[in-house]
Amino acid sequence: MERALSGALGDALVAALDWTWPRLCPRVRTVLESLGEAVLPDPPMTIRTLDGDIVTGFLFVDRGQVVAFIGSRRPAPSPFPRWEHEGLGDERPGFRGRYPR
């Protein structure tokens, strides 16, 4: 009896998906496209650390400052110069280094 009942429930679930998926697919696609447009920055942004690395992951930013970061850092491709840390100050608080040559 248990196998017959679970088989019937599985068949009912598959039949329900066969019936609803063609009707839901266009709506789901529209919602996902709208969501994608809402979360993409315009214009595109590149986040770079003070030493020239670029980051990949999730950033939580508050007023231009990253407060939490989950991801990885990598050396930037050649268009971004590396920063040198020599302890020369700058007018910005927390800046320790100097601009690249």
CA–CA–CA angle 78, 73, 86 (5° rounding) = 70
33 and 47 inside one domain: no
33 and 48 inside one domain: no
Strand, coil or helix: 4:
helix
Is the pLDDT reported for residue 101 higher than 50?
no
7-52 confidence digits (pLDDT tens): 888 899 999 988 888 888 888 889 988 988 888 888 888 888 888 8
Chain centroid offset of residue 65 CA: 17
32 and 59 inside one domain: no
24 and 63 inside one domain: no
When mean pLDDT is compared across 19-23, 54-58, 81-85, the lowest value belongs to 81-85
| Rounded CA separation 84/95 (Å) | 12
Is the pLDDT reported for residue 99 higher than 70?
no
48 and 18 inside one domain: no
20 and 50 inside one domain: no
58 and 96 inside one domain: yes
99 and 53 inside one domain: yes
Q: State the pLDDT confidence band at 69, using cuts at 50, 70 and 90.
A: very high
* Cβ neighbours of residue 69 closer than 8 Å, sequence gap 6 or more: 55, 57, 58, 59, 60
Is the pLDDT reported for residue 79 higher than 80?
no
82 and 49 inside one domain: yes
